[in-house]
Structure 1
């Protein structure tokens, strides 16, 4: 029997530094109501900056 696959949603984390750098990932649709805001590394400005979530089409 095939395994059931959980419903996943793609998202894109965009840098608030205005560099256009982004990370792409996926998360469970159950938690999709909340927008993620994470501090991650932006290699263009060589600093840790705030990244905000945007939806990404499949």
Structure 2
């Protein structure tokens, strides 16, 4: 019997540094990435180090709700 496709869900990762700074004139926006995670293996929020083009460095990107 085939498993349902709802085990892997799509999540949005958002830069935590840009969110704290807010949208000011120095920052053009907030960096966001889309990825997938396995709901059974990773039940808590996902945090990954990704490159933020607005901060010009690698920062922690945390999962946000839709």
**TM-score normalised by L of structure 2:** 0.64
Match of 2:43 in 1: 33
Displacement over 3 Å in runs of 4+: 3-6
SS at match of 1:17: helix
- 1:25 is paired with a residue whose SS is strand
The yes-or-no answer on 1:49 pairing with 2:54 is no
Q: Does 1:13 align with 2:9?
A: no
Aligned length: 54
Unmatched 5+ stretches in structure 1: none
Unaligned runs of 5+ in 2: 19-28
User: In structure 1, how many angstroms separate the alpha carbons of the residues matched to 2:57 and 2:9?
Assistant: 28
Considering only CA atoms, is the larger Rg found in Structure 1 or Structure 2? 2
TM-score, with normalisation over the residues of structure 1? Answer: 0.70
- Asked if the contact 1:37/1:51 (under 8 Å) is kept, the reply is yes
Asked whether the 8 Å contact 1:10–1:55 carries over to 2, the reply is no
